[in-house]
Amino acid sequence: EVTGLMIGEVEDLWDLVALVEYPSLAAFRDMALSPEMAAIEHHRKAGLAGQLNIKTKARA
């Protein structure tokens, strides 16, 4: 179930999907705010150009 669009525009064209599962939203947040992630921020931003980051929730 899609619960939000975190990065990107719905109108963006794409033809490849990668699924990533994190143990929790807190684990994702901790990773995103880590010093290691901050050190590669410029690479991350360049890599996200034209991508969508869609938040989902597993259905029971």
CA nearest to 22, candidates 53, 48, 44, 49: 53
Q: Is the Cβ–Cβ distance between 9 and 54 less than 8 Å? A: no
Specify the residue for token string 């669009």.
Answer: 5
State how many domains the chain has.
1
Write out pLDDT tens, residues 8-49. 666 656 676 777 889 998 998 999 999 999 999 898 888 777
pTM strictly above 0.75: no
Backbone angles phi, psi at 33, to 5 degrees: -100, 5
CA nearest to 13, candidates 49, 55, 57, 56: 49
pLDDT at 51 over 70: yes
Q: Where in the sequence is the domain holding 35, given as residue range(s)?
A: 2-56
Position 11 scores a pLDDT of 67
